[in-house]
Chain A
């Protein structure tokens, strides 16, 4: 072999000699784009977006906004530790991109709603159900500085809200009683959401339990699907795995879900 050709090969310049330079840059661009897409698939933001995008709000006639639980991300991003995910979610929360809402029975079930969709949803609901929708506008501005829960004293400070206002906010469903003098923040239709969500979870758990040896492959579950009145199968599987309700083991043909007796 000629020594010059060796040199060129070593420097990786062999192709640029034979091909025009423009197409190379296009190729580079394509590679770069592919790489970014692949990297994005492993971030909290992208998997959140993915879950929001696939959330079937239209099937439930827009009764509730797209909601994702924090523990679902644990299952979406198995390559990240839970600590990393928690911290990233917290950062997004402090940047006010998402809103954390306490739903469910145990403390770790923290629901994440996009700030925009939360506002849009609350406004839409108030427009139909409230005589004076201006309260909601005031509330949405006010509530930006709070998270998860809010106290009556904070609401009444500087005469921001009167007792009647608070009453109508409770009627809309953005405030839920926590204890005397404090409220959980919520969204209208949270009850409907929890109902559909929990029924889906129960269905998946019985599927896993009834299966042979109480264990199913994830792909098998997805093939079976869930009825229309539940949230999606992917969504529910992520919930069941992320919440440690089943035991998970990796196999050569995907994840295997085993019932936790």
Chain B
């Protein structure tokens, strides 16, 4: 194994090697497997034989898959309930239902008072998870007991929160608050240690960087995306600008850089950490280079955003371990699938009856989970995931027969064409 591959993210590794030896796409198993995963991820259909057990009495607001092993699906509802589904309990029958393995009811004293806005497993261990709610609380939970261990309380609703997925990062929770600030909570001291202010309207989404342990990006209802370094005294590094305006030395002018015309509702770093994807209420999806801080100018077309309330967070998903990076974007009752680099819209996933609020991509099964206002969690699996063996055999036989018939017809035609019907014997 390459020593580099242990350090660099998977898809980045694949791309490196891709560039190094063009024309030999399948020489390397890394590329081969990533491409297969990419192929599978782009042909998602509503699963015909897998299903997530229905429990919700309210909308599904947030979801997360345990990143270490992918065995659990955590989700939070509009009534403050929290549910964990097991994804690895396989049954003998063909039909598989992912069962509920843990649940906090909405009327329980542990649950959030109002709607839940974001949830996430502790990145390195699914023994703990964090949730944040519209009641202004960020709670840290013990997964086994399904009880909160600690809660951070803020005066106004928390719209989103995130913990860094990097192993080198400190256990800090960044919470995007309605009071225009980002609060950093430290799990080691169990206290809110830092407040980042710089947005002029409520902060809608916050994400820790995938390659710098102390950096995070935040998007606000004012249409700005800010990059922060929590170590610095003047912690705001830059505001991203959609038109790639020439950076001015004047800081006031920089604070007038707008990433979107309207509120930023979702942010996500690509798996390699080199790109940042943002979704705005101005119906645009933009991709930013985290190296240069510039708009990559990929035009994804119009992505409809149907909510009147701009202080909300929609969760988009980015593929990991797959070779062409794909983006899954909730838009009305559909999920749009884009190629991140080319901006091409590959498919539209339609099954929900109401607004889709959240997506979560499962890197091992190449499947997608989506939650919506219609109180259901839909599961999307690759088209080729399940085929009846008998049917497959028949299809192969048919294909062979077809080929044979075609070859016969071709031979007949060539025979008639090359037949010498006019020349004399001599």
Contact = CB atoms under 8 A, between A and B. Distances in A.
A86 interface: yes
A81 B261 CA distance: 23
Interface residues of A, number: 25
Given A106-B261, A153-B252, A179-B256, A83 B282 contact: no
Nearest to A87: B297
A154 B343 CA distance: 36
Contact of B253 (A100, A108, A145, A154): A154
Contacts of A82: 299, 301, 343
Contacts, number: 58
B245 A149 contact: yes
Contacts of A149: 245, 256
Contacts of B379: none
B302 A154 contact: no
A45 to B, nearest CB: 17
Contacts of B252: 151, 153, 181-182
A85 B299 CA distance: 9
Interface in A148-193: 148-149, 151, 153-154, 178-179, 181-182
B343 A148 contact: no
Size category of the binding interface on chain B? 20 to 34
A147 B246 contact: yes
B142 interface: no
B243 interface: yes
A83 B299 contact: yes
Contacts of A148: 243, 245
A28 to B, nearest CB: 33
Given A100-B243, A106-B261, A107-B282, A81 B299 contact: yes
Interface string A112-152: 00000000000000000000000000000000011111010
B138 to A, nearest CB: 33
A90 B244 contact: yes
Interface string B326-360: 00000000000000001110000000000000000
Contact of A81 (B243, B256, B282, B344): B344
A244 interface: yes
B244 A145 contact: no
A13 B243 CA distance: 55
Contact of A244 (B260, B261, B302, B344): B302
Interface in B227-281: 242-246, 248, 250, 252-253, 256, 260-261
5 contacts: A107-B260, A151-B256, A153-B252, A153-B253, A181-B253
Interface of B: 242-246, 248, 250, 252-253, 256, 260-261, 282, 284, 297-299, 301-302, 342-344
Interface of A: 81-83, 85-87, 90, 100, 106-108, 110, 145-149, 151, 153-154, 178-179, 181-182, 244
Given A110-B243, A146-B246, 15 more contacts: A81-B299, A81-B344, A83-B297, A83-B342, A86-B299, A106-B261, A151-B248, A151-B252, A151-B253, A154-B248, A154-B253, A179-B256, A181-B252, A182-B253, A244-B302
